[in-house]
Amino acid sequence: MKTTARYAGSRDPDVAGPADVVRIDPDGGRVAIDWRLDLFNHSPSGLNWGYGGSGPAQCALAILADYLDGDDQLALLLHQDFKAHFVAGFDDVWELDGSDIRDWLAAAGIQPEDEKLQPRRVTNVVEEDGGFRATLEPCGHEVWFAVAPPKELVCAECINELVDAIRKERV
């Protein structure tokens, strides 16, 4: 995870066309982020924000994929919730700190590898009805979700193991 990065976007509301989104690294360097059309093609015409459409979905996916630094499956799982929480509310010019993304992920029980809670054992992960059902041990919880972990997490200690299992299933 690029926890020390910031993301910034700017667009001219009077000019049609794709908007610019950059990662600002700790040294101040600015790098345009990849739209990640290879992961999911919501909006081949470009990134956008400030509403709940396809351009903001592409923007959310691009930011998360960059922030998660190679964990594309997790970016795919979470980008719609990320869009609703952050991207849909952005103004024409905005900045988002990596620590805000980290806090949002932590609220969902997803933490950097070096900060994970001791995971619980996943005894079963089954693709079902367009989503996944998993049984977690020792707590015994069953969790089902379609695209992203639910807002009401059953067990914060279990969610890291569930995310790891899903990553393995998707590979």
pLDDT of 4 above 80: yes
pLDDT value at residue 118: 43
- What pairs with residue 118 in β-bridges? none
pLDDT classification of 13: cutoffs 50, 70, 90: confident
pLDDT of 155 above 70: no
Alpha-carbon torsion 66, 71, 73, 79, what sign?
negative
Provide, rounded to the nearest whole percent, the portion of the chain with pLDDT above 70.
71
Q: Which residue has the higher pLDDT, 134 or 31?
A: 31
Which residues 6+ apart lie within 8 Å of 4 measured at CB? 25, 26, 98
Compute φ and ψ for 32, nearest 5 degrees.
-65, 135
- What pairs with residue 8 in β-bridges? 22, 95
Containing H/E element for 6? Answer: strand 6-10
Cβ pair 153, 145 in contact under 8 A: no
Range with the lowest mean pLDDT among 52-61, 89-98, 102-111, 152-161? 152-161
What's the whole-model pTM score?
0.66
